[in-house]
Structure 1
Amino acid sequence: MKYVYSGAAALLISTAPALAGGIDRSGQFLGPLWEPGDYAEFSWTLAKPTLSTNTLNLGAGPSNTGDVAGTYNSVGLAYKKQFNENFSGAVMFGQPFGSDISYPGAADGGSLYLQGTGAEIDTQEVVGVVRYVFPQSGFGVHGGIRALSTTAKADLGGAIWDARGIDGYHLDIDRETDFGWLAGVSWEKPEIAARIALTFNSSITHDFDTIQSIPGMQVPEDITEVKMPKSVNLEFQTGISPTMLVLGSIRWVDWSEFKVRPSVLGGTSLTHFEDSTTYTLGVAKKFTDQWSGAVSFQYEGGGDGVGTPLSPYEGRKGITLAAIYTQDNLKITTGISYVRLSQSDVGIGDPGERLVVGETDDRKGWGVGVKVGYSF
């Protein structure tokens, strides 16, 4: 039971956030830490979102932006060491946050209102975590350090921004690495393949060296402070038969503290995210000694129902299927996810002064993932 879960749950989580809350991509879960013995893994995920917006008639007639979401992939590496019966540790690499939005020009089927608008955010994270299990109790504690490296760039283009005098605005944020921490508790009962784990991830503050430009205007280099959000993860599982178990997770992220406020924009943030809570519930089934499978469903509320041009969606529902092949110490897991995004308006400006400029049209995403794990 435990061996089936470890592969299924990790892929159910890693392929599901093709379009999760804010700029979430990985979920920051600690799957390798729960593996038995010494363990190493490699994972790869590919996501293909499709997202477009119908802009309102703001003077030049309504139009559609065309697909603005870029395909992306991410990789993960992990090594877990079991030092003794009660003490273990792991080192993990991942890409927890990201964004790839680009509005095509009107000549390429895009909208005059937002052509040239876009954003790219890239993160890389190394996590070091240790865990201690209290003897004969099932209870454990874990904690560690997160090193997060982030870089980003953004462009504002089209008639909407031209009306505000910032058409052609470009933001370039140099890569910055800063540190945060994590801490949590867990409980296990191996006899029924039961586990529950709660983890808190602290926020991480970056002070970015920033280059900004606007056509016809001289803009000095600056420092932009951005707080990457804190989060809480709850993971759980329990066996319901010798070959089947129920598994799930709840993830809350404090996205309201994630603001990008370049000085040239007078304090207006380029991002306006609501806090997100993502629920995942599924079952895993062992069919033979080599083959197992799993299915899960995801739900995330829609917040205030208003996205931004750089993140034009709020809320989602999804389904993920996974297959696990096990041979001796080798385990290969594959998964596929489909996500349907909630209908939302698209607005610009801070809440309270927001101007709605459109509403989402086509809004879905596919994700596939592969993970190879080896126990030794």
Structure 2
Amino acid sequence: MERILLTASVIAMGASGAFAGGIDRSGQSVAVIFENGNYAEFSLGNVNPSVSGQALAIPAPGLNGALSGDMAASYTQFSGAIKYKFSDNLDGALIFDQPYGANVDYPAGTAYYATGSTATLKTTAITGVLQYTMPSNVSVYGGLRYETMSAEASIPFVAGYTATGSKDGALGYLVGIAYEKPEIALRVALTYNSKIKHEIDTAEASLFGPLNTVTEVNSPKSVNLEFQSGVAKDTLVFGSIRWVDWSNFDISPTQYGVLTSGGSLVSYDNDTISYSLGVGRKFNEHWSAALTLGYEKQDGGIASNLGPTDGYKSIGLGATYTQDNMKISAGVRYVDIGDAQVQLGPVSPSANFTDNHAVGFGMRVGFSF
């Protein structure tokens, strides 16, 4: 039961990538380390957000009540992992994911003040994990994560500002502890992910000329609590709580700070805590399904024009088909994105972003060997 339901559960929760706090996308789960024996998996998904707002109609430059149009471009997520059992007590895994990202594309030709603004942030990570299991069913695990980050931005309404950040790679680490009781499919796992410090070579330009700088960006530290338990025959309850240190995340290229009197290209006022809770059901030896709910509270305050969202509610549905040593899972997730307000220079708020949503689709193929 456990192996079939878990895959459906993960797909229902993730459905090709989260639309969570900050620029969080993968959730950085290391659940593959708990698979039985030797195992490999590959996942692919697509997220289609719809995020739009309207400028306030007040007597200030650019604030004419114009509609922004849909400023959130769709994106595709890929991940893969391989897990190997070295002995009865020692397991290892290698995980590839895309932990953080942003795709901003304000439509050109509108009367909205941010018209034509674009921004992308891309990351990839390779994580190596070793797990040692003690006779008491308690295990400890840890490893290293190598992460790359690159970014680009074009903000015409800030003196024609553009920036291109070259790809930078840096190391971080993770540590965790877990307790399992296999006879009832019980597992509780707590994982700490360290921050990762990037120093990104940045080519900036504006109406005042070009400038080559180095921008320091720290991927945030985070803590994941993941849990599951059988509650009846062929029925599993599962969930997670994820805290991310977004209040210490900041992207502030040098020239952009000068142009905006100390403003940040991207920053967040508060940390985020994301919750998910679901139930999975095995129908027979081949089929299982899972339903999950997700929640992240709205913090209020002012959001960035490059990320005008605040919290979310979500529902996801996943199903898994198992045949011999292969299992194929698919899922869909609907996200009700929280309303947000943004600012333009000293005018705060300058626009309202309301009634937005995202839909994600994902597929995962796993093999035991």
The TM-score by the shorter chain falls in which range? over 0.9
**CA separation of 1:204 and 1:191: change in aligned 2, threshold 3 A:** same
Q: 1:259 to 1:293 in 2, by over 3 A?
A: same
Q: How far did 1:112 drift?
A: 3.4
In the TM superposition, 1:73-152 aligns within 5 A as: 73-106=76-109, 110-135=110-135, 137-152=136-151
Compute the displacement of 1:12 (Å): 2.5
After superposition, the C-alpha distances for 1:271-327 in whole angstroms (9 at most, x for unaligned) are: 122211000000000011100000000000112343111000010000000000000
* 2:49 is aligned with 1:46: no
1:253 is matched with which residue? Answer: 244
Q: RMSD value over aligned CA atoms? A: 1.4
Instruction: Tell me the CA shift for residue 16 of structure 1.
Output: 6.8
Once residues 90 and 214 of structure 1 are traced to their aligned partners in structure 2, the CA distance between those partners, rounded to angstroms, is 45
Q: Is the 8 A contact 2:339 2:355 kept in 1?
A: no
CA contact (8 A) 2:16 2:47 kept: no
1:360 aligned partner:
353
Deviations 1:162-219 (A, max 9, x none): xxxx2x100110000000000000000001000000000000010110100003x223
SS in 2 for 1:7: helix
Larger deviation, residues 1-10 vs 49-58: 1-10
Q: 1:375 to 1:354 in 2, by over 3 A?
A: farther
Match of 1:292 in 2: 288
Is the contact between residue 186 and residue 198 of structure 1 (CA under 8 Å) also seen in structure 2? yes
Q: Percent identity?
A: 39
Separation (CA, whole Å) in 1 of partners of 2:215 and 2:328: 42
User: d(CA) in 2 for partners of 1:346 and 1:172?
Assistant: 24
Give CA-to-partner distance per residue, 1:107-164, whole Å, 9 cap, x none.
Answer: xxx33311122210011100000000102x1100000000000100111123xx3xxx
Tell me if the contact between 1:66 and 1:111 (Cα under 8 Å) persists in the aligned partners.
no
1:268 maps onto 2:263 in alignment? yes
Residue correspondence of structure 1 range 308-319 to structure 2 within 5 A: 308-319=304-315
Distance across 1 between alignment mates of 2:347 and 2:124: 32
Whole-Å separation in 1 of the counterparts to 2:237 and 2:180: 14
List runs of 5+ in structure 2 lacking aligned partners. Answer: none
User: Are the structure 2 counterparts of residues 80 and 42 from structure 1 closer, same or farther at C-alpha, using a change threshold of 3 Å?
Assistant: same
Indicate yes or no: 2:219 matched with 1:228: yes
CA distance in 1, matches of 2:347, 2:195: 27
Cα deviations by residue, 1:47-77 (Å, 9 ceiling, x for unpaired): 0000001111234521110001101001111
Superposed counterparts of 1:167-246, under 5 Å:
168-215=160-207, 217-246=208-237
Query: Does the CA-based 8 Å contact 1:306-1:314 persist in structure 2?
Result: no
Distance, in Å, in 2 between the alignment partners of 1:148 and 1:13 is 23
**Take 1:205 and 1:15, find their aligned partners in 2: how far apart are those partners?**
29
Q: Which string of whole-angstrom CA distances, capped at 9 and with x for unpartnered residues, describes residues 68-115 of structure 1?
A: 110100111110001111110000111110000111123xxx333111
Is the 8 Å Cα contact of residues 49 and 357 (structure 2) preserved in structure 1? Answer: yes
Cα separation, 1, equivalents of 2:265 and 2:201? 17
The 3-state SS of whatever aligns with 2:99 is coil
Structure-2 change in CA distance of 1:209 and 1:191 (3 Å): same
Aligned residues: 361
Relative distance call for 1:304 and 1:16 in structure 2 (3 A) is farther
User: In structure 2, what is the Cα distance between the partners aligned to 1:4 and 1:347?
Assistant: 47
Paired residue type of 1:258: F
Letter in 2 for 1:112: Y
**1:328-339 → structure 2 map (5 Å cutoff):** 328-339=324-335
Contact residue 13 and residue 292 of structure 2 kept, 8 A: no
